[in-house]
Amino acid sequence: MAPSPEVSVIVATYKQPFTTGLALQALFAQRTDCTYEVIVCDDGSNPETIGVLLNLLAGAPVPARLAWQQDRGFRLAASRNNAITIARGCILVFLDGDLVPEEDFVQQHFSAHSSPETIAVGKRLWRCPEAVARHEWNINDLWQLLRGDAACDFQSKIVESISLLGQHWRLKAKPWTSIQGCNFSVDNSTLIRFDEEMVGWGFEDVELAYSLNMVHGHQVAHVDAMAYDIQGWVDPREAWKQSDYVAHLCNGFRFLDRWAHVGLTPEEAIPRHCLDPETGLWSMASIRKAREATFDYRFMREWLVEHGHLPSPTVSGSSAGTGGAPR
């Protein structure tokens, strides 16, 4: 039996054969002095997509496998856990399937774990999808394109600058909030499991980050492990459905309920969404409103319970919060 690799790279995907194909090409061409494997965790893609992925994995120059689960909704936490279960590396690197990693991506994450109990956070760089919309790419040519300005339009530059600045500020203020599920790594241990009750958008990565950093004392380190987002930035205010807002809120309350006893607050856990009293629709608060408004977390929980999205709290008023409601 072959010796276990030092690193397991886990690539999360769903119906993204083109972008995940480019991500795999980049992973198969890494410059590193460590041994690594690649595991694609698929959240229920169709047979056509799976066929593309299997063909790519079959020709991989490193050990590569697929962990697939049935499509029963957005179950990223469970999908990643499928890959964790079969991962053999001492270090787990998590990457989203629409990000193309740089050629030293694996090496950067590997080097960050010279000290135990480290959470290494890489950088997400935004690129214009039109610039890479070709069906065939030599990976070295693609890297050259992604490193330059030709693939980075004005909006991408603005989003990238704000994202990196915000990540740096969060590292200083509350390190666990700077972790991005699309590009981070941890030591492989029994602590590394995502909460599978969190379905739909968000918080499965935040909850794990909080647990490791605030509860178990793992240190957060930012590293130059760069990965290029080639899907382009999408404003969730335009893209999200009502079910996305509801799932986001539910996951925030699950996060709060799990860790309130060690000091997690509603302000840290619950997303700033507002309910329009006339339309009955949720929306994302503006940056200004999110900073200045007082959010009624008790009302949010009661609404979710009333509409069957959350169970009734076992302790009346636990971690609910009060205040005027921007709804």
Residues 234, 248: contact at Cβ < 8 Å?
no
Q: Domain 7-229 falls in which CATH fold?
A: Spore Coat Polysaccharide Biosynthesis Protein SpsA; Chain A (3.90.550)
pLDDT digits (tens), the chain, 327 positions: 678 999 999 999 999 999 999 999 999 999 999 999 999 999 999 999 999 999 999 999 999 999 999 999 999 999 999 999 999 999 999 999 999 999 999 999 999 999 999 999 999 998 988 888 865 779 999 999 999 888 887 777 787 777 777 777 777 679 999 998 999 999 999 999 999 999 998 899 999 999 999 999 999 999 999 999 998 877 788 889 999 999 999 999 999 999 999 999 999 999 999 999 999 999 998 766 666 567 899 999 999 999 999 998 765 444 444 333 333
The single-letter code of the amino acid at 110 is F
| Neighbour tally for 197: CB within 10 Å | 13
Strand partners, 221: 120
For residue 321, the model assigns a pLDDT of 44
d(C-alpha 78, C-alpha 29), whole Å:
28
| Neighbour tally for 321: CB within 10 Å | 19
Phi and psi angles of residue 233, each rounded to the nearest 5 degrees, phi first: -75, 135
Which segments of the chain belong to CATH 3.90.550.10?
A: 7-229
Residues 223, 109: contact at Cβ < 8 Å?
yes
Reported as half-sphere exposure (CB side, CA atoms, 13 A), residue 10 has a value of 32
For residue 160, the model assigns a pLDDT of 76
- Identify the CA nearest to 42 among candidates 19, 63, 16: 16
**45 CA to centre of own chain:** 18
d(C-alpha 212, C-alpha 118), whole Å:
9
For residue 213, the model assigns a pLDDT of 97
